[in-house]
Amino acid sequence: MSDLIRIFTERGDLAHLALLLWASAASAALWFTLRERAAAARRFDDFVRELQRFNRRRKRHLNKDRD
């Protein structure tokens, strides 16, 4: 019986360790994904801002040519 308890305890600790490692890896992957999404959103926002600036300049240029 003591051998059975020892084996269960050892395997239980390994299972907890495996669960901890899995949870850590999943959390790190989620953090990395969220960080990359935030960076992509910033890059897209910068792109839209530059496009808006280009359109304003182009519109001013076209209005000058009409006058």
Distance CA(57)–CA(52), nearest Å, equals 9
Dump pLDDT digits (tens) for 5-41: 676 567 776 777 778 889 999 999 999 999 999 999 9
Output the CA torsion sign for 26, 27, 33, 37: positive
Dump pLDDT digits (tens) for 40-54: 999 999 999 999 999
Residue-by-residue DSSP string for 10-64: HHHHHHHHHHHHHHHHHHHHHHHHHHHHHHHHHHHHHHHHHHHHHHHHHHHHHHH
